[in-house]
Every structure is written in structure tokens, then in C-alpha cells.
Structure 1
Amino acid sequence: MAASVLSAFSLPKPSDCFTYVTDYPRPSLPNKDWVLVRVHAAGLNRAELRARNQEHVSKLEFGMFIDEFHENHPKIIGEEFVGEVTEAGTDSGYKVGDVVCGWAYGGGKPYDGAYAEYTICHKKRCWPLPDSARKISWEVLGAVPMGLWTAYGSIFHAGQTKPGDTVFIHGATSSVGIWGILVSKSAGCTVVASTRQESKVQKLKDAGADHVVLEKDLLADPGLVKKLVPGGANTILSIVGLHMLKPIAFPACAMYGTVVSMGILGKVWSIPEFNASFIPTTRKLTTYTTLDEDYEPAKKVLADTVEKILSGEYKSEWFLDSVYDLKDVGKAHERMEANEACGKIVLRC
């Protein structure tokens, strides 16, 4: 099969870290719970930049595969995909030809990922897409799965957000951030979004953000969000990192509100000497990761999202940043690493 293999680490030019081959061995199913998928598109994620640079790997990133933790990355990286089942384990619940997506390490970090024509996926990390998804291009579908569900799960499961609430998204130009805007507005929420780059303000407004603020202004005036939405935000989706909780997230949080910390765009994994007293009284701090029990709600949310894309409620130009061929994955990494993207970068496999 064709694949972009991670053949070197931490080189100045990302393209030099990958070797495109056409004779890489096609993976086989580890057991009856797995499927083999013909990958048609793969979405890029920040963790893959860290993999290319041999940066920190957390045990938590292995999710359900934590017992197989190791610090070495697989030769083929890539944490999410859309495609069609070409081989189905008898206990997987799938059949050949099913349109599916996978995320949160569909094969687990111990296995090769989605920068390839084929990948394997455990049934607990594989989700079906409705037949109507075939009306949408693979590239557009590839911009949906992981960003959508991370945003939805963080805002509505972890954050317990209700229609009419105010949601503040810190780090809104990421794929998760864009989807956070879309799903929040669809639920009737008011949205405040932040970015570091003034050039991206209009795109966030186009996606539906009611207010867009620059991060530098938030740091200069921690009360800025409460000036825009009196009382503050009921739910805060903090994607930038733990170091921004105290200066930006907590000051923006309404009484009895929730801060959901689920991103490390700033690559900060911990806060020195952090303790519970940093959390303002009546506020709650939580996090979100994909859980096994997410299967059924995710299935419905994915189906609803497909229909909203088809109806035009979710326009692809809002959540799909750019598309690269599999052999050009290095160029895609360059765009992501330079923080040029607004939304999801997708590989055409």
C-alpha cells in the first residue's frame, strides 16, 4: 500500500522527516474486534507534530491502549480518518463497504496510523457514518470527526452546556475551536472566540462567533470577556494549555460555570505548584477525553453533522482549511506548525 512513513525526526524541514512509499505492508487485524479500513482522507492533529519531533508522549494519550504504552512513535502516524471497511472482524459489528471514521488512535499509538491507504481500527474507536455521507467529498468528511467530537464532548458532556448559555472558546482557530463555534451556535448559545492572529478574526466571525477577541487583549485585561457578556461565560473551552487557565480562563468564567481544559496547543502539560485554591469559588474545572460510552451519542452527532453539512448549515469553508496529497504530508505539517491554518488540514490518501 502507499504510505508516508516517518523515517526521520526533528529535521528543520518537515518534508525530510517523511518517506512516501508504495510497497508498505498492508496491516492485518489483531483480533475479531478490529476492522481494516481503506483510508480516503486523514485529518491532521497537533499530536502528530509532536510525534514528528519526538516530543513528550503522555500515557493518557494511549487511552484504551494504555497497557501498551511506549515512548516510541509508530512508523506511520495519524490519529483520525474517514474511509470504507475492507475487512471486518467477526466481533467488530461492521461489514465490508461500511463508511466509517475513526479517531483517538483508532489503532492505538502502538499501531500504525492513518497516513496510508489502509489502517486498522478497534471497534471502540470506529464510528459509522450514515449513507448520506457518500454525497459529501472525502476531503470534507476528513475535516469532521475528531475536531467535531472533541468540541461537542467538551462543551455538552463535560461542560454540561445548555441552549442559551454563553461559551468562550480560547484557541478558536484550531479545528476543535472552529467546531466548538459551530456546535455551540447550532444549540442557540452565544459564543466568544479568541485568536492570537488578527488576520483570522473575520473567519471566526464568519463561522458564527458573536464576539472575537485577541489573546493579547485578554492578557492585558482579564475582565474583557465579562465586559462583552456580563456575568461571564457559562462554559469555557480552554484549548491553548494549562498555563492559560489562571490568566484567561478562570477570570472569564461565570458563577457556577465550568472550565473544560482539553488542549495543549501551547505544549504546556502541567502547572508548577498548581492547587485547587487557584479555581475561583463556585467555578468548576474539568477535562474531556473520548470514552468507550461515547459510541452511541457520537454516532448520532456525526449523523446530524452530515445532514447539517448537506443542508448548508455547516459550510466546509468554515471548518476545512486545506487539502494535501498523502505524498505532500510534510507541506501539510509545515502549514500546521507555522500556525497558518484556521480549521482542519486534511490529507487525501
Structure 2
Amino acid sequence: MSRIVQFSAPGGPEVLTYKEVDVPPPAAGEVRIRVKAIGLNRAESMWRSGEYIEEATLPARLGYEAAGIVDAVGPDVTRFAVGDAVNTVPAFSQNQYGMYGELVLAPVSAVVSHPPSLTFAQASSIWMMFITVYGAFIETAKLGAGDVVLIPAASSSVGLAAIQLANMVGATPVALTRTGAKRKQLLDAGAAFVIATEEQDMVAEVMRITAGAGARVVFDPVGGPSLGKLIQAMKTGGILLVYGALSEEPSQLSYLDLLIKLPTIVGYTIWNTSGDPERQRAAVDFILGGLASGALKPVIDKTFTFDEMVEAHRYLEANGQFGKIVVTV
């Protein structure tokens, strides 16, 4: 028997409940994992509240990232054995699997070996953020030396991963944040420049930083009224990567700005990369290399216990964190 977290109706964190379930032996293509830590993601709170890109089949489980020990393997699984330390990467639907549990099943296609230099808590925090950024920056934008990249919501786990990966390839990360409260933290995290968008003229600052050229890459999870300004701050012919929709307000942009800047606008999700075995393998190898060199590092803001999942989701939705929220089991 194992406790899992589920919800029977969409809503706020309070709809999350615990349930005792009998976790069956893994079927073909599955492993069973004794969970040690769970990384929380904005996608899971959106799934819980009914605002995600996929509709939940109720009652629904949730959770993409877990780290733990293999407890059993399916009859055709040869890559892993009982006792192996492993992590899960987001490469499945939450309608099929959920990692919020003490003992969970996972598809072997979404399981990777645990990086030996990391704790379970650290390992549960890295895959969503680094694979998302890898796919956007390396596969899609071909980010490299000399590029300037704008990173809205820079203090999120994905934003911090974007800063690290930009530095790793020699690009210049410009962190965007609402106020100057996190300026020093962002600079310490590797941002070359920090712009407080509610206190500074963002477009003017970007043009000053780039000597009037603008940023070639924008990596935006927000949308809303600021979208038009991001395009104004871009280099002509640059690329705008949209990977979220945190703003509840309509996006605003000028068609004239589109004709002036000629941007390529690309919608991006982690599934582009994690859902393809070869691309997932390349991403994992790249990230492991960055972790080994010290260029990429986990950033954990706060840790909760499994019994505090509701409180952890409340904290996630308060938008005050600097890095990842992790739940230990």
C-alpha cells in the first residue's frame, strides 16, 4: 500500500487529498519507484486548477518529477534493476501516471539514472527546468556566443536554468523581474544584467545593453500585455520562444512592430524534446555534462514534507520562490 495525492474536482490547493492505494507490480515498459523526493512544477498547479494544456480525467493524479529507488521492474525492462537510484523526467501524461506518491509506477521511457553527485532532493529539481531550456535554446534557437537572450520570470526554476545554460554556451542572459527585490540574487545566479520591468523602461534598457541592436532570443512564459514590449526589445529577425501563459490578461502586440522586427514566434513545450527518445537522450547527456562541469546546478528555494503538499502548492502559487520547490517523502 502507498499514499498518493489526487484531486476529484479542479480548484485551489485545498482540493488535493491523500489516498491509500495498492500499487500493482509494474507492467511491460514500467518500473516501480520508492519515491524519496518530488519536484513541484507550475504545470501541476495548472493541471490541478483546470488551466493546463491537457484536461484532467477525474479523479486525477499529478506530478512529473520524482527521485527514488527502483522497487520492481516490468518483465521486459533491462535498463534498470531493483535497487537502482533513478529519476523521472516529464515525458508522459498526468492522466496516465502521477509522481506524487510514496510508491509510484513510471514508464521506463521517462526514467533516467540518478546523477551520483546529487541528493534525491536536488535530482528531483533538475529535469523539467533544464530539459525545457535545452530544447528551447539548443535545439530551437541555436543559442550561442554573442547572443543576447531576454528571460522574463527569471527567478523561477526554469528562468534560473535559462541563465545558467545561456552562460554555459557563451550567450548573455538578461533577467527580467517585476521589481528590484531579487536583483542581487539574480546577479549572483549568473545574470549579466537585471531589468526590473515595473521600475525601469525595459525596451530602453535592452537597447542600451545591446547598443541599439536588441536581443536575438526571448524566452517568455508570461505573455499578456508585456508581449508587445518584448517584441520591441528584439533584434530584427530574432526568435521569440513562448513556453507558458502565466498572465491572465490578453496578450497585446502591434502588427507594425511585427513588420518592423520580423520575429519568428515559436510555441515550445518540453514534450518536443522529452517525448522523442533520441532527443531526450541528447538532452540528458548535455545536462549531465553541465552538472559535471559545474556550469549547471540545482537551485532549491524551499523543501516541504509529503504531508505538507497542500502548503507546498500554496507556496508555489504565491510566486515568491527563487528556484525550485521540493517535497521530501
Same fold, judged at TM 0.5 (above): yes
Secondary structure of residue in 2 paired with 1:56: coil
Cα distance in 1 between the residues matched to 2:30 and 2:224: 35
Contact 1:105 1:113 in 2 (8 A): no
Contact 2:25 2:74 in 1 (8 A): no
Contact 2:6 2:59 in 1 (8 A): no
The partner residue of 2:148 within 154, 166, 177 is: 166
The partner residue of 2:48 within 46, 52, 56 is: 52
Q: CA deviation at 1:324?
A: 0.6
> Letter of the aligned partner of 2:40 in structure 1?
L
Q: Deviations for 1:112-136, whole angstroms, at most 9, x for unmatched residues?
A: 411111222223333334xxx2342
The partner residue of 1:43 within 39, 46, 51 is: 39
Cα distance in 2 between the residues matched to 1:281 and 1:196: 25
Matches within 5 A, 1:51-200: 51-53=47-49, 55-59=50-54, 70-96=55-81, 97-104=83-90, 106=92, 108-129=93-114, 133-200=115-182
Gaps of 5+ in 1: 60-69
**Please, what TM-score do these two structures have when normalized by structure 1?**
0.82
1:342 corresponds to: 322
Identity level (%): 26
Cα distance 1:190–1:52, how it changes in 2: closer, same or farther (>3 A)?
same
2:313 corresponds to: 333
Cα distance in 1 between the residues matched to 2:259 and 2:140: 17
Q: CA deviation at 1:242?
A: 5.7
Secondary structure of residue in 1 paired with 2:34: strand
Cα distance in 2 between the residues matched to 1:300 and 1:139: 20
Q: CA deviation at 1:250?
A: 1.0
Contact 1:233 1:254 in 2 (8 A): yes
Q: Which moved more, 1:119-128 or 1:256-265?
A: 119-128
Instruction: Answer yes or no: is 1:258 the counterpart of 2:239.
Output: yes
Q: Which moved more, 1:91-100 or 1:192-201?
A: 91-100
Cα distance in 1 between the residues matched to 2:78 and 2:6: 30
Q: CA deviation at 1:254?
A: 1.3
Number of aligned residue pairs: give it.
321
CA RMSD of aligned residues (A): 2.7
**Please, what TM-score do these two structures have when normalized by structure 2?**
0.86
> Letter of the aligned partner of 2:17 in structure 1?
T
The partner residue of 2:304 within 324, 330, 333 is: 324
Cα distance in 2 between the residues matched to 1:305 and 1:200: 25
1:204 corresponds to: 186
Q: CA deviation at 1:211?
A: 0.5
Q: CA deviation at 1:243?
A: 4.9
Q: CA deviation at 1:209?
A: 0.2
Q: CA deviation at 1:105?
A: 5.0
Cα distance in 2 between the residues matched to 1:307 and 1:84: 22
1:3 corresponds to: 4
Instruction: Answer yes or no: is 1:24 the counterpart of 2:21.
Output: yes
1:65 corresponds to: none
Q: Which moved more, 1:164-173 or 1:31-40?
A: 31-40
Contact 2:36 2:328 in 1 (8 A): yes
Cα distance in 2 between the residues matched to 1:260 and 1:279: 18
> Letter of the aligned partner of 1:168 in structure 2?
L
Q: CA deviation at 1:259?
A: 1.1
Q: CA deviation at 1:138?
A: 0.9
Contact 1:78 1:113 in 2 (8 A): yes
